[in-house]
Structure 1
């Protein structure tokens, strides 16, 4: 369920694979590290793909279109993400050293490719004004069922503030999910809970979350935590979180929290 990837090397680092690594996640997920001038051609006859720039400056080319996109930090800048159906080749050329996350899954549907810009990304601050501010964080939804009902994927990002909680109140959903983590400092760390298990998460690590398991997260004081969250729809799509019954009282905006009871 948990793995620390360590320093990412030039080329491709696999996180999940539908055939060989965490196949229950039903997704191919990995990160390309490209030095300046290097290019990678991405093509799959059966799988759609979400191509997310984590850091760097790249040129994206697809279907006769081209766009240069840049991102200095996942903590301060909203994402660029290209979403393409099966059978569309994408060429990614690094203009500077760049890191690109790719999420894929099988999908028979054909649809128009879409480049999601930072302005397209829905970004909210969740947890404001409740629970004494202990779960305040930024949630960015790149696309989900509401944006792309033809897709079998969901992808988004969270910036968890130092010393705060995320994926809170504890919730679950039937669909499998993967979290990929980064921290604003190399020594940063947090805690990921998956059902009854707890893991110390660090920079360039990930967890896999089977359907039906709750997965609250906590960030160590002094460190900001980023994670990319990636869901694979099942026959019924993911549209919302299912809050654990024993924690639903937290949804009351007037709930009294110790020591203010």
Structure 2
């Protein structure tokens, strides 16, 4: 893949800013069919009107809280101080709806979206009900907040989770892919990684080709950066020592079934067999589901 193609997959902070959005990735811009992500920044007392169009959306506070008014209902999101302080509550906004997002104290809010067919009801997702998973072990340990995983919260196509990796650990490892439809084995999903690094640090993210001419990225990532993954073996995401890494994964695809099925890289999948012999990193969980709310 050319340097130009790599630049289109790695999006530095601010490179896709658009009005109130510090990051805006719509399917048309990404060059695929479903997944989208916007990061909305509101000043104290600010508000924003979201037209859902043909996509379903989840409003997820990254920092601060907000009020979401949609479909004749008003949802109060307590939010959190930062992505490193706790799990946040969230709101689902259906396709063909309008939502008004307002914040008295201001904040930053991820809008994770996916083009879809079904129109589901608007709903509130309480923070204490978000399933927390400790995945891997040893220096591959990480925490996954499965707030909108395929089996935890009903959406039509959207799948979204948060991953927190303690400083010095490897995440999204072993490298894996989900770019082919193979029933019961692998699902075809477009994926966005959005990064935040604790206290201004940096990390590294790798995507290697799974097919001739496929996605090939090695990027130093910092807060506000994103990586687009239409195909390819993705991982590792490496957190620098002393700097925890956060990333938001947003996924959707054309399959009739909403599911997350992955294939490990054949050269690296063996690492999973070593995990039962090692303890989970004692720094995990970084926080529990009820922590971090305003």
TM over 0.5: yes
The verdict on how the C-alpha distance between 1:73 and 1:13 changes in structure 2, with shifts beyond 3 A counting, is closer
Distance 2:217 2:101 in 1: 38
Farther-moved stretch of structure 1 (39-48 vs 247-256): 247-256
Which residues of 2 match residues 37-48 of structure 1 at below 5 A?
A: 37-48=45-56
More strand as a share of residues: 1
The verdict on how the C-alpha distance between 1:149 and 1:34 changes in structure 2, with shifts beyond 3 A counting, is closer
Q: How many residues align?
A: 251
The answer for the alignment partner of 1:178 in structure 2 is 192
The answer for the alignment partner of 1:190 in structure 2 is 203
1:208 maps to 2:228: yes
Distance 2:155 2:77 in 1: 25
Distance 2:124 2:277 in 1: 44
1:249 maps to 2:270: yes
Alignment partner of 1:122 out of 124, 127, 131: 131
Check whether the contact 2:13–2:23 (CA below 8 A) recurs between aligned residues.
Answer: no
Q: CA deviation at 1:207?
A: 0.7
Check whether the contact 1:177–1:232 (CA below 8 A) recurs between aligned residues.
Answer: yes
* Alignment RMSD: 2.3
The answer for the alignment partner of 2:253 in structure 1 is 233
Q: CA deviation at 1:254?
A: 7.0
Distance 1:60 1:93 in 2: 7
The verdict on how the C-alpha distance between 1:165 and 1:25 changes in structure 2, with shifts beyond 3 A counting, is farther
CA deviation digits over 1:101-153, x for unaligned, max 9? 1122221202122221211211122223xxxx111111111113223555111
Q: Secondary structure at the match of 1:217?
A: strand
Structure 1: runs of 5+ lacking an equivalent? none
Which residues of 2 match residues 74-223 of structure 1 at below 5 A?
A: 74-128=83-137, 133-148=138-153, 150-174=155-179, 175-186=189-200, 188-195=201-208, 196-223=216-243
Q: CA deviation at 1:253?
A: 4.2
Check whether the contact 1:25–1:210 (CA below 8 A) recurs between aligned residues.
Answer: no
The answer for the alignment partner of 2:211 in structure 1 is none
The verdict on how the C-alpha distance between 1:256 and 1:42 changes in structure 2, with shifts beyond 3 A counting, is closer
Alignment partner of 1:53 out of 34, 38, 61: 61
The answer for the alignment partner of 1:36 in structure 2 is 44
User: Structure 1 length as normaliser, TM-score?
Assistant: 0.87
Distance 2:275 2:77 in 1: 44
Q: Secondary structure at the match of 1:252?
A: helix
Q: CA deviation at 1:25?
A: 6.3
The verdict on how the C-alpha distance between 1:212 and 1:197 changes in structure 2, with shifts beyond 3 A counting, is closer
Check whether the contact 1:194–1:214 (CA below 8 A) recurs between aligned residues.
Answer: yes
Distance 2:246 2:155 in 1: 28
Q: CA deviation at 1:235?
A: 1.7
More helix as a share of residues: 2
User: Structure 2 length as normaliser, TM-score?
Assistant: 0.78
Q: Secondary structure at the match of 2:270?
A: helix
